[in-house]
Chains A and B, each alone.
Chain A
Amino acid sequence: MLEIRDLHVKFHNRDREAVAGISLTIADGEIMGLVGESGSGKSVTAMSIAGLLPRKQCDLSGDILLDGEDLLHAPRSALRQIHGRRIGVVFQEPMSAMDPLMRVGEQVGEVLRIHTKLTPAQRKQKVLEVLASVELPDPEGVYNKYPHELSGGMLQRAMIAAAIVIHPSLLLLDEPTTALDVTIQAQILELLKKLNAEKGISMLFISHNLNVVRKLCRRVAVMQRGLLVEEGDTDQVFFHPRHPYTKRLIEAIPTRHGKETV
């Protein structure tokens, strides 16, 4: 469904490429993990897929194909269709990612307003449904609240709701649980699993936290300094890592009984 071929991204104000030739595939309905430390290029990869990189400030080459259609070199008009409609994005910090002066309900329904011809009443209906499906206890209440009136965990659920309400082909999640408490993290992961199972939305889950990725993703790719160093089924990568960097990452995971060994 999503195919990345030899993606190169270089920012004008940096010397080294942020992404130095990556090829990746995500199948329909799959949850893929993308791990790496800061600076590995994982977020940049995600932003290139989403079409959110400022084109004037970087050089892009390669191909990104969504169901066969070129995303990377798409013209502005096509991008607007992709944004929100076919690709949804969930960002790291839900509090700052939301417009502080717009009610949550309106923001969750924003993609519907932009991409569909539903009436406001119909939109509200759909929003309430999706808010319930992300396990928010009081959808009507949440609908009318402002972002600062909700907790981080609830906001992130709302962000997920906003991204999936229109049933996009792909959901990009850029460190969605990093800013949340550990217990909430676990809940969000369960939620994502459920949504993937029920609605079949493909997901690309980006994180620096291997543990989190392991719980959620069927396949995982490891990036280091702009390059893809390992890729495969999660269990495969975890128990039989081939690349030394992967091994180091796994070894660094703290557990209750000391470091995990392979």
Chain B
Amino acid sequence: MKYALKRILTLLLTMLLVSFLTFAAFELISGDPAQTILGTEATPELLAALREEMGLNRPFLTRYISWLAGFFSGNLGISYRYRIPVWELIAPKLEVTFWMCVVSFVLITVISIPLAVWSYRFVGGPLDFVRTAFNQLCMAVPTFFVGILMSWLFGIVLRLFVPGDFPDLHTDFGAALGHLFFAAVCLSIPRIAMTVRMMRSTVIGEMQKAYVRTAISRGNDRRAVLERHVLKNSLTSAVTFLGQTMAELVGGSVVVEQVFGIPGLGRLLVASISTRDYPVVEALVVILAFWVVLAGTVADLVNQQIDPRLRLGGDA
């Protein structure tokens, strides 16, 4: 339990640091929010009144704390561009991107681990070249390119979904999930290839270790060695990698959402960056940072369950 608490504490401290740096950075960049909202023709009195109303005259720390508190109360300010509360803007899109990443993550995990173990049989043989080359190819094809092809094939030709017309998550979850599925597949393909590649080299490394020889000397055949011993020992690096993958998926979603017309966080992020909608960007940065750090923390906690040596606080 102690190690779990320690990790969670690190998570909270990191988030505190990140949110502080983000808030400070945007303070510097964004200039005068009142000016941005009212435009260049606003009179000094109007500007002063708005500044007072927005609480911009309060000390830095006070504003930071109230902004931070906003993440829990749902008040993150008003979007410059859309003039609606930031949280209202973000929440539905957050849901959509969240589900897409979850589906993608499940696909990646469920496919790459067995695939990596299965591909061990080709090591050293002639098929290894084919396998590795194919793996590289999967990593080489741009996600949005696959997206264009899939969108056309499954959307327009096969009519399995309507690109650009995303069903509402709350009214028809199934259809929405179906629409997300194709985007998730696009997102997953290169990550599956990367995970398989990484896991394969881990497995190869583990197979050279002394305990494998012991396992053979007890009568385990190669399959038993892989499944009963090596798999578990290879799992920790896979889990760490998958944690990073969870974080990377958000980056990939930016492009995929564009291709499939999915109203997610990615598109919002690009749009708000282009339009200098700082309150939105600020909030999104913190949310995404939290996502990344959370993924890493969960990965660490899972690993500590798998490998008891990690609970001692040192490296295995």
Contact = CB atoms under 8 A, between A and B. Distances in A.
User: Would A and B touch once assembled, by the CB under 8 A criterion?
Assistant: yes
Interface of A: 50, 52, 80-81, 83-85, 87-89, 91, 93, 96-102, 110-111, 114-115, 146, 148, 159, 162
Contact of A89 (B209, B214, B233): B214
A143 to B, nearest CB: 15
B216 A52 contact: yes
B28 interface: no
Given A146-B308, A148-B309, A98 B219 contact: no
B217 interface: yes
A100 B219 contact: no
B307 A84 contact: no
B233 A99 contact: yes
Query: Which of B211, B216, B221, B224 has most chain A Cβ within 10 Å?
Result: B211
A11 to B, nearest CB: 16
Nearest to B209: A96
A98 B214 contact: yes
Contacts of B316: 100
Nearest to A146: B308
Nearest to B229: A99
A85 B219 contact: yes
B309 A99 contact: no
Query: Which of B218, B221, B307 has most chain A Cβ within 10 Å?
Result: B218
Contacts of A99: 211, 214-215, 229, 232-233
A97 B211 CA distance: 4
A91 B213 contact: yes
Interface of B: 209-211, 213-221, 224, 229, 232-233, 306-309, 316
Given A99-B233, A100-B316, A162 B218 contact: yes
Contact of B210 (A97, A102, A111): A97
Nearest to A88: B217
B216 A101 contact: no
A100 B214 contact: no
A100 B217 CA distance: 17
A178 to B, nearest CB: 14
Contact of A110 (B218, B307, B308): B218
A96 B211 contact: yes
Binding site secondary structure of chain A:
helix
B308 A97 contact: no
Given A91-B213, A96-B210, A97-B213, A102 B218 contact: no
A55 to B, nearest CB: 12
A98 B217 CA distance: 12
Contact of A93 (B210, B217, B221, B233): B210
Query: Which of A83, A87, A88 has most chain B Cβ within 10 Å?
Result: A83
Contacts, number: 67
Query: Which of A52, A88, A91, A97 has most chain B Cβ within 10 Å?
Result: A97
Nearest to B213: A52
Query: Which of A85, A101, A148, A159 has most chain B Cβ within 10 Å?
Result: A101
B309 A114 contact: no
A98 B316 CA distance: 14
B217 A52 contact: yes
Contact of B229 (A81, A102, A148): A102
Given A100-B307, A148-B309, A80 B221 contact: yes
Contacts of B233: 99-101
Contacts of B224: 114
Contacts of B210: 91, 93, 96-97
A91 B214 contact: yes
Query: Which of B210, B211, B219, B233 has most chain A Cβ within 10 Å?
Result: B219
Contacts of A50: 217
A80 B218 CA distance: 8
Contacts of A110: 215, 218, 220
Query: Which of B214, B224, B309, B316 has most chain A Cβ within 10 Å?
Result: B214
Contacts of A100: 211, 233, 307, 309, 316
A114 B218 contact: yes
B309 A111 contact: no
A110 B221 CA distance: 13
Contacts of A102: 229, 232
A80 B309 CA distance: 32
Given A52-B213, A93-B210, A114 B219 contact: yes
Contacts of B217: 50, 52, 83-84, 87-89
Nearest to B309: A148
Nearest to A101: B232
A100 B229 CA distance: 9
Nearest to B230: A99
Contacts of B229: 99, 102
Contacts of B213: 52, 91, 97
Closest 6 CB pairs of A and B: A84-B219, A84-B218, A96-B210, A83-B219, A89-B217, A114-B219
